[in-house]
Chains A and B, each alone.
Chain A
Amino acid sequence: MQPIALIALIIGIPSALLLAYVFIRGTTGLRRYILTRIGLTIPMIFILGSLVFFIMRVLPGDPVSSALGPKGTPAMIENIRQQLGLNDPLIVQYGRFLGNMVTLRFGNSLVGGHRPIIDEMSERFPATLELIIPASILALLIGVFGGALSASKRKKAPDFMLRIYAVVIYSLPIFWFGLVLQLVFGVYLHWLPISGRIDPVIGTTLKTFTNIYSIDALLSGNWPALGSVLVHLILPTATLGLIQSGLFMRMTRINVIETMQEDFIRAARARGIRERVLTYGHALKNAMIPVITLIGLQVAILLAGAVLTETVFSWPGMGSYLVERISARDYNAVQSVITVFAMLVALISLAVDVIYSLVDPRVRY
């Protein structure tokens, strides 16, 4: 079985079960909300797909002649254009593009061994997952607790320092942050490796099932490989996670401050509940709700950050794949990667909204 299909199953089955559970046990309002939300995702994917199509086909520039370079003869160019169906009317191409998007048929790469793009992605996509999931967890942990601390000490020194942290981390160019970490921990201290996912020698001993190396190493009980994978993960995860944490911290801080001014907090305070319990118990729980929405919106920033992080750390994920194929002018691969990103964004924001509606009973459309 292809790794990508395996991952789809691992993510897909629990989500489907969750959805089914919500559907059966939920109220009518909740059911209607989820249906509407799913209904909205379809046009969103459609719009994003059309955008990709528009950018790749309608803007000036001929992908085929630039892919072949100066050695491409008119006959060769014509041949490839015919193969890709670029000579058909635009509307036919558009229809075919949307069809392929739904069925995930991306065709073959234009360069190198002309491998099917779906195969290349099934190697690359797990690497990206392995990077962005721990990075998001790191960002959430730092952001939520830092934000709550900042709000509880509002206008005192810790608040001021955490706000400066949030602003500075938000202003850091992520690729530069990665380079500085490489410089300090890789080049000067020699503590951590600065590129790749696994030590190449140990890598040969690792059997891959999902291509998420840490999971593969765990499943096969290959402890040296697991160690190597984790060590390689530290710098990229820190880069992506810390950069993301600033926005979460800011959002949590503002929301906790707003919630602390609500009547129920005043009532709780009047009952003599300690300030610490008020902040971290009562207020934080309520302030988390908008933060969950932010996760959905952060996906975009997360993926953009992943492209740069992967490039800096030579991490063989989707982002570095995109950048490699742009310079190789592999237009088929570029279009496919962007399409996959678009679908990913749409699906994650759907998932976040559904979770949101479960967490916050006030959300009913």
Chain B
Amino acid sequence: MGRHWYGVDWWFVVVSSVAVIGFMIVAIFPGLFAPYSPDALVGPRFLAPGQIQIASVLIVPQGSNIQQLKDLAMPESVGRAHIAVVQGQPTAGDVNAQAQSIDQQLQAGTSGLRLRPIIDRYASVQEAMQAVIDGTDDVAVIQSTDWTAIQSQYPTLVETGSITGEKIAGPFALGTNDIGQDLLSRLLWGTRIALIIGFSSALISLFVGVPLGLFAGFVGGTFDRLLSLLMDSLYAFPGLILAIAITAVLGPSILNIIVAISVLYIPTYYRIVRGQTLSVKEEVYIEAARSIGSKRSEILRRYVFPNVIPSVAIIFSVNVADAILTGAGLSFLGLGLPPTIADWGIDLARGQRFIQTAWWMITFPGLAILAVVLAFTLMGEGLTEIFNPKLRDR
């Protein structure tokens, strides 16, 4: 094996192990990495990755004491404030609505201040900015996305936030979904579900399949033949369809999805372990052990079991990958998981409905599944090449 040490296959195993450990850390502590809660509605709907919410923001000259719209209020005798807006944008309407509500509050009070601004419409954002710099207008109200685009050209102006006083959402690294949840947070939390499903169902199949395979291979006879027939039938059946049937009957829950998937992969362990047990059973050292009077349980434990471990390790890593894929497939079909859970399959099913508008809702959950599954598959691929004696150079 030493000759392979610097080969591609060891790199497969090393790289994928590092990736798997990384995914496990994310799965255990998703809260540390996720900026928001996966269920929180943190922004507007369909915000593309890296973009910010379109809101009307207040632009004032640097050092100005005006920080909000209501700072523009003044006694009627002094006059009216001038606000620059860009023609054809909804900002003018926003300013009017906001100013009116502030004005009503002021009238109810006793300060004697009023807010009845004069709105000057300009043809472009640049002209509106120039008007503020020249002092023609006191402030400007433009769209937040426009400001991020031209910000660097106007060092003497500052943005003081949305005129409604609400926080401007964004930017979100991976955008938001159709109800305004942060996609990145959902993906990070989805790692947990994916790995729980992958590992638990693979472990359950392992703990059922390996003993059955050992026993059937070692004992043989009618028991072996019947069990093999059952396992072969199960193995031949399309796994996803069986899982669909089971989850459709049992109803959606994580436990049910794990049960449904683990049933599918029992035959994989059974077949490999049984086959290896059959061939190991004929080895001379087993006969030697038997002739010195070892008990059958001891032979099974000390001589047969260690021989099947490498292949079980390979199946396990591929199995986790398969289970994650099947789990995602089930939840994509709307089966298996309650729809409120942060899960990649559910996110993809959601994204499919908005394929025409929101490419990011499809792209990123899929990439997340691919990354995790790839790590486990690559590990299996590397291990197969290393452990399979038939592929070794002669």
- Which chain B residues numbered 223 to 237 have a C-beta less than 8 Å away from chain A? 229-230, 232-237
- Which chain A residues numbered 29 to 63 have a C-beta less than 8 Å away from chain B? 40, 43-44, 47-48, 51-52, 55-56, 59-61
Q: Which of A177, A180, A300, A346 contacts B239 (CB 8 A)?
A: A300
Q: Is the CB of B232 within 8 A of A261?
A: no
Q: Which of A56, A155, A180, A187 contacts B245 (CB 8 A)?
A: A56
> Provided the pairs A168-B374, A258-B391, A323-B333 are in contact, do residues A300 and B237 lie with their beta carbons within 8 angstroms?
yes
Q: Is the CB of A261 within 8 A of B348?
A: no
Docked complex Cα distance between A52 and B245 (Å) = 8
B-side contacts of A303, CB under 8 Å: 238, 241
> Provided the pairs A300-B238, A304-B241 are in contact, do residues A179 and B348 lie with their beta carbons within 8 angstroms?
yes
- A164's closest neighbor in chain B, by CB? B378
A-side contacts of B388, CB under 8 Å: 254
Interface check B209, CB cutoff 8 A: no
Rounded to whole Å, the gap between the CB of A356 and the closest CB of chain B is 15
Q: Mark B244-272, 1 if CB is under 8 A from A, else 0.
A: 11101111000000000000000000000
- Which chain B residues numbered 77 to 116 have a C-beta less than 8 Å away from chain A? none
> Provided the pairs A187-B355, A257-B391, A300-B237 are in contact, do residues A160 and B8 lie with their beta carbons within 8 angstroms?
yes
- A304's closest neighbor in chain B, by CB? B240
User: B250, B251, B335, B352: which has the most chain A beta carbons within 10 Å?
Assistant: B352
Docked complex Cα distance between A322 and B238 (Å) = 13
Interface check B65, CB cutoff 8 A: no
Q: Is the CB of A44 within 8 A of B232?
A: yes
Q: Is the CB of B229 within 8 A of A172?
A: no
Q: Mark A48-90, 1 if CB is under 8 A from B, else 0.
A: 1001100110011100000000000000000000000000000
Q: Is the CB of B352 within 8 A of A179?
A: yes
Docked complex Cα distance between A147 and B388 (Å) = 18
Q: Is the CB of A300 within 8 A of B370?
A: no
Q: Is the CB of B250 within 8 A of A182?
A: no
- Which chain A residues numbered 219 to 272 have a C-beta less than 8 Å away from chain B? 254, 257-258, 261
Q: Mark A291-328, 1 if CB is under 8 A from B, else 0.
A: 00000110111111001100110000000001100110
Rounded to whole Å, the gap between the CB of B177 and the closest CB of chain A is 15
Interface check B390, CB cutoff 8 A: yes
A-side contacts of B8, CB under 8 Å: 155, 160, 163
| Interface segment, one of A93-101, A281-289, A334-342 | A334-342
Docked complex Cα distance between A68 and B348 (Å) = 30
Docked complex Cα distance between A59 and B334 (Å) = 20
Q: Is the CB of A167 within 8 A of B374?
A: yes
> Provided the pairs A326-B244, A338-B245, A341-B241 are in contact, do residues A51 and B234 lie with their beta carbons within 8 angstroms?
yes
Docked complex Cα distance between A308 and B332 (Å) = 9
Rounded to whole Å, the gap between the CB of B309 and the closest CB of chain A is 21
Q: How large is the interface on A (under 10, 10 to 19, 20 to 34, 35 or more residues)?
A: 35 or more
Q: Which of A43, A47, A307 contacts B244 (CB 8 A)?
A: A307
Interface check A345, CB cutoff 8 A: yes
Interface check A359, CB cutoff 8 A: no
B-side contacts of A155, CB under 8 Å: 7-8
> Provided the pairs A173-B369, A179-B362, A300-B238 are in contact, do residues A167 and B245 lie with their beta carbons within 8 angstroms?
no
B-side contacts of A327, CB under 8 Å: 334
Docked complex Cα distance between A44 and B329 (Å) = 26
Q: Is the CB of B355 within 8 A of A182?
A: yes
Interface check B159, CB cutoff 8 A: no
Interface check B117, CB cutoff 8 A: no
A-side contacts of B152, CB under 8 Å: none
Interface check A365, CB cutoff 8 A: no
Docked complex Cα distance between A323 and B352 (Å) = 16
Docked complex Cα distance between A173 and B345 (Å) = 10
B-side contacts of A160, CB under 8 Å: 8
Q: Is the CB of B245 within 8 A of A308?
A: no
Q: Is the CB of B362 within 8 A of A311?
A: no
A-side contacts of B245, CB under 8 Å: 52, 55-56, 334, 338
Q: What are 5 A-to-B residue pairs whose CB atoms are below 8 Å? A: A173-B370, A258-B390, A297-B236, A300-B239, A308-B332
Q: A44-B229, A59-B250, A173-B328 are in contact. List 14 more A-B contacts (CB 8 A).
A: A47-B229, A55-B245, A167-B377, A168-B374, A172-B373, A175-B329, A176-B366, A176-B369, A301-B238, A308-B332, A326-B244, A338-B245, A345-B236, A349-B236
Question: Which 7 A-B residue pairings sit nearest by Cβ, starting from the closest?
Answer: A176-B366, A304-B240, A171-B373, A304-B238, A303-B238, A47-B233, A171-B374
Could you list which residues of chain A lie within 8 angstroms of chain B, going by C-beta atoms? 40, 43-44, 47-48, 51-52, 55-56, 59-61, 155, 160, 163, 167-168, 170-177, 179-180, 182-183, 187, 194, 254, 257-258, 261, 296-297, 299-304, 307-308, 311-312, 322-323, 326-327, 334, 338, 341-342, 345-346, 349
